[in-house]
């Protein structure tokens, strides 16, 4: 799907589920909690690309203690609106995490497969601690038993876009979370 028409793009937005202000407030609160929990500890925030990059950018600015940033990339959707069931790690961390408290920053936990694989992979590298903070949790879709240590929002079983989340690589730039209108040709 290639979108070149602004009207077609706007038609992909069914309704706003979480506003820009609600996201901002939740991230500010999470930043304070991270500051408290990890004060005086070596902290590594690990973003799962591509979807979590917007969340990580805002979250790391809300954190006022020293922290480092790392990136991983995993795919399971491959341009569709439902998980393929196959998880591919296309970019891995480069640093040794054994001297860090690692906080995985995820955009959404849907089936749980992708994050469970990443979590187990990082756990095997023996960080000082390992936790997960997700922007969105969609428990109705869970196929594997996995629960984040902290979720900013729990949402119903809708395919969502915005604030880093995409459909066919579009809509990541929306400042809010919206339900995707599947009747737009996807």
In order of their start, the domains of the chain are: 20-78+85-161 (3.40.50.2020)
**Can you tell me the distance from the alpha carbon of 132 to that of 109, in angstroms, rounded to the nearest whole number?**
10
What does the DSSP assignment read for 140-166?
GG--S----SEEEEE--S--EEBTTB-
Dihedral of CA 136/137/141/142: which sign? Answer: positive
The answer to whether 179 touches 165, Cβ cutoff 8 Å, is no
Task: Label residue 61 exposed, middle or buried (CB < 10 Å: 0-12, 13-18, 19+).
Answer: exposed
pTM of the model: 0.88
Residue positions annotated with a catalytic role: 110
pLDDT in tens, the chain (186 residues): 565 556 777 888 989 999 999 999 999 999 999 999 999 999 999 998 899 999 999 999 999 999 999 999 987 654 455 555 677 788 999 889 999 999 999 999 998 988 999 999 999 999 999 999 999 999 998 999 899 999 999 999 999 999 999 998 999 999 999 999 887 554
């Amino acid at each position: 799907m290639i979108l070149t028409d602004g009207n077609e793009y706007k038609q992909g937005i069914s309704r706003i589920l979480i506003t820009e202000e609600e996201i901002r407030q939740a991230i500010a609160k999470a930043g304070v909690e991270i500051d408290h929990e990890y004060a005086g500890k070596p902290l590594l925030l690990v973003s799962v690309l591509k979807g979590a990059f917007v969340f990580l950018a805002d979250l790391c600015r809300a954190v006022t203690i020293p922290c480092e940033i790392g990136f991983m990339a995993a795919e399971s959707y491959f341009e569709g609106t439902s998980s393929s069931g196959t998880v591919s790690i296309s970019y891995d961390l480069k640093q040794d995490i054994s001297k860090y408290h690692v906080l995985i920053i995820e955009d959404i936990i849907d089936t749980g497969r992708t994050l469970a694989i990443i979590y187990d992979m990082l756990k095997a590298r023996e960080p000082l601690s390992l936790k997960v903070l997700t922007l969105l949790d969609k428990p109705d879709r869970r196929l594997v038993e996995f629960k984040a240590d902290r979720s900013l929002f729990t949402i119903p079983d809708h395919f969502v876009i915005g604030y880093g989340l995409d459909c066919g690589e579009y809509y990541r730039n929306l400042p809010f979370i919206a339900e995707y209108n599947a009747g737009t040709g996807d």
